[in-house]
């Protein structure tokens, strides 16, 4: 929900600095998997999942842990830093379709992050501040030659991006969990926590469209799946290519 500004209300959150023992173990397991991707060369890992599932917190935890235990440099970029300006985002309305189709500038993400990272050059981690609706000009970052880049955000397995990642981590939880969590983060009243409440139509509707497109036409298969329903005890889900997955945001089975 990058278009909304965080406030002080926080319900059911886990601090990146103080995860539970169970969560810390999962973080270590995930980090071990991540740093094993494309050894001795740069790698890009997408962290996909619905609004409110905990992608940003998870990424922050992995980035904080990496310098202590990882054998490689691990960097992070959020797709939220590549929103279109407000007049572009809302030019076609404020419904689910406009959010899914017009919220993010994927060409800018490619030009400033994905392509230069692959080419061994420095990257620019953001171009737009969604809170102020202004362009931003952060200092470029020069990753090491074997750095791992974590790119977190919504809709990462959509056709425009599906070939950009070496591996994908899907973070998942039911809307009955993610909507209240996201609403709490952005200070919205608990009365709006029902996923079908009209106040959630833009975001929940966009996720439902995305899920439908992935289930029916998706071309990717997540490498790892993290059930983040219980923030204190997340669960890594086994990805068995011989079985169907009854989860949103991925195909039922991999392509033949």
For the chain, give every domain's residue range: 21-237
For position 241, what pLDDT does the model report? 52
CATH 3.40.50.300 matches 21-237: yes
Which residue stretches of the chain have pLDDT < 70? 1-17, 218-220, 239-256
| Residue 138 DSSP code | P
Q: Are 140 and 112 in contact (CB under 8 A)?
A: no
How many CB atoms are located within 10 Å of the residue 126 CB? Answer: 21
Note the pTM of the prediction, 2 decimals: 0.88
Q: What is the 3-state secondary structure (H, E, C) of 221-253?
A: CCCEEEECCCCCCCEEECCCCCCCCCCCCCCCC
At residue 237, the pLDDT reads 86
In terms of phi and psi (left: phi > 0; alpha: psi -120 to 50; beta: otherwise), the region of 93 is left
Question: So what's the pLDDT on residue 251?
Answer: 45
Tokens of residue 31, six digits? 């980090």
Distance CA 154, CA 50 (A): 6
For residue 191, how many other CB atoms are within 10 A of its CB?
Answer: 9
Instruction: Label residues 147-178 b or e (16+ Cβ within 10 Å = b).
Output: bbbbbbbbbbbbeebeebbebbbbbbbebebb
The Cα 219–Cα 163 span in angstroms is 9
pLDDT at 14 (0 to 100): 43
The pLDDT value given to residue 187: 87
Sequence-distant (≥ 6) Cβ neighbours of residue 229 within 8 angstroms:
173, 174, 177
Q: How far, in Å, CA of 5 to CA of 132, rounded?
A: 10
| DSSP for residue 110 | I
| Amino acid 160: pLDDT | 85
172: β partners: 227
- Give the integer Cα–Cα distance in Å for 151 and 168: 9
Q: How far apart are CA 237 and CA 166, in angstroms?
A: 19
79 touches 111 (CB < 8 A): no
pLDDT at 17: 57
**pLDDT (0 to 100) of residue 222:** 86
Provide the pairing of β-strand 224-227 with 235-237: antiparallel
């Amino acid at each position: 929900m990058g278009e909304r500004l965080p406030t002080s209300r926080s319900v059911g959150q886990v601090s990146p600095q103080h995860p539970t023992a169970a969560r810390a173990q999962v973080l270590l397991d995930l980090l071990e998997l991540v740093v094993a991707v494309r050894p001795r060369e740069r790698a890009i890992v997408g962290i996909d999942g619905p609004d409110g599932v905990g992608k940003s917190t998870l990424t922050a935890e992995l980035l904080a842990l990496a310098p202590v235990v990882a054998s490689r440099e691990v960097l992070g970029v959020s797709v939220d830093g590549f929103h279109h300006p407000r007049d572009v985002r809302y030019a076609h309305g404020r419904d689910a379709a406009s959010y899914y189709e017009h919220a993010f500038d994927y060409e800018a993400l490619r030009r400033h992050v994905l392509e230069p990272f692959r080419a061994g050059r420095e990257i620019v981690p953001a171009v737009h501040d969604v809170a102020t609706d202004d362009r931003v000009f952060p200092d470029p970052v020069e990753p090491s030659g074997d750095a791992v880049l974590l790119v977190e955000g919504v809709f990462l397995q959509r056709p425009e991006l599906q070939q950009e990642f070496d591996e994908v981590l899907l973070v998942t939880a039911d809307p009955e969990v993610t909507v209240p969590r996201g609403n709490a983060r952005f200070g919205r009243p608990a009365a709006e926590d029902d996923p079908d409440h009209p106040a959630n139509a833009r975001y929940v509707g966009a996720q439902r469209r995305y899920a439908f497109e992935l289930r029916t036409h998706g071309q990717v298969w997540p490498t790892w799946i993290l059930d983040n329903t219980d923030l204190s005890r997340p669960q890594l889900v086994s990805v068995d290519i011989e079985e169907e997955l009854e989860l949103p945001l991925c195909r039922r089975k991999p392509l033949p």
